[in-house]
Structure 1
């Protein structure tokens, strides 16, 4: 199993597939999942000749279930360690949901100073900030995230099954094509990780303010979002983020859900390829 150990002693699992001389595409997964959530993208881009890399965030998947460091600064530093270990250059960093926040902080704080990043992609991503605050009055109230924490602590397995079977993939919408296999795979990935990491991760994805990170990003950045995203509402995320990016491009997907990379990979993947090749 491929792992690296970070400076603070955390073992991080990663996948590294494809030709060593291919352009690297680095995929950052959402909460509370793992690198496996990118299967539909990893195989697609592997077939196009790219080098594809995806890691399990600390406390998630096959990475160490440590007690501490479940915040965006550590998440970004961890992927920086993976990138340095593999010596990835001219890479495109692609993040979904919480992973989009991770990409934003990584590129702003670690990727650009080292010159390792060519482009970035934010898909259904949490920036600029999800939480309702005085500066972000249209955000989601803290009570919603407190509810997430309560449900996780009370019955994590049931909570995860409800998310996967309902709003994450839009399976709760009238006429939706429901895939129990997709929902069960989401549940499997979630239950592989540690409850402590997932509990702390709710604060990380909901309360982190990425405004200054977005403003600092110099590389071309594609912002992709479904307008029926029930997990990260588009009005509070993508529509705001693209205004803060220097070289941002927004692509909105009508009626697509938060988990569109899985349910609509046939639409998402070609658009990603076009942006990477542009």
Structure 2
């Protein structure tokens, strides 16, 4: 088991596979999951000769269930601790959902200033902001995220089951065949983590305005989303990201869900690789 300890005492679990002299691909997972959500992509890039690195966000997965710091600033700072501990340079950082917010803040505030990042990829990512604000009037009402909080606090196990079996992978759509193993793996990852981290993290992924982070991401950035994403609507996420980023490449997949990295990996993985190599 590999861990690094942050300045405020959080123990961050990470995976580091592949040749140490190869270009690193660094993976940042979504809420409320763990680095295991990237297993398919990590094995894919490992087999292509890359070094692959992923960590469990504080309070998630195998990282310690610390009671503080469940906000985007700490998430990015923890990612920086891992990157500096492993001395990752010329890295490509990819984030899914909440992990996309983590990537945006890390790349803007640490990766680019330190010269550690070559490219970035945002997949079904939450920036610039999910919640409705004066600056973003088309955002989702706060009641949506209050519902997430209520579900997490009242019966987290059932709520996680319902999310995975329903909107996350689009298994609630007519004609879509649910995959029990995928649902069980999502639930397993979620239940490994801290209820407090998951509850507090809802505010982090929904109410953090990352407009300035996106504008500061001067590295080439791939933006991917499905047009049937029921969790982070692509009009509010990917399309706005492409308008704010200095150097974006945008691709929208017809009919794909929020969890397309898992259920459509055969399509997504080659596109990720092409961007990294391009």
- TM-score interval, normalised by the smaller of the two chains: over 0.9
Runs of 4+ in 1 over 4 A off after TM superposition: none
Partner of 2:179: 179
Give the SS at the match of 1:234.
coil
Provide structure 1 residue ranges, at least 5 long, that are not aligned to the other structure: none
Partners in 2 of 1:88 and 1:177 — Cα distance? 40
Partners in 1 of 2:135 and 2:222 — Cα distance? 25
Partners in 1 of 2:177 and 2:272 — Cα distance? 24
CA-CA distance at 1:177 after TM superposition: 2.0
Partner of 2:252: 252
Partner of 2:193: 193
Partner of 1:241: 241
Deviations 1:211-257 (A, max 9, x none): 00101111000000000000000011111110000001101111000
Task: Return the TM-score normalized by structure 1.
Answer: 1.00
Give the SS at the match of 2:21.
coil
CA-CA distance at 1:9 after TM superposition: 1.1
Partner of 1:19: 19
Map residues 1-278 of structure 1 onto 2, 5 A cutoff.
Answer: 1-278=1-278
Provide structure 2 residue ranges, at least 5 long, that are not aligned to the other structure: none
CA-CA distance at 1:134 after TM superposition: 1.4
Partners in 2 of 1:206 and 1:197 — Cα distance? 14
CA-CA distance at 1:133 after TM superposition: 1.0
Task: Return the TM-score normalized by structure 2.
Answer: 1.00
CA-CA distance at 1:82 after TM superposition: 0.2
CA-CA distance at 1:151 after TM superposition: 1.1
Deviations 1:167-207 (A, max 9, x none): 00000000102101000000000000000000000000000
CA-CA distance at 1:58 after TM superposition: 0.0
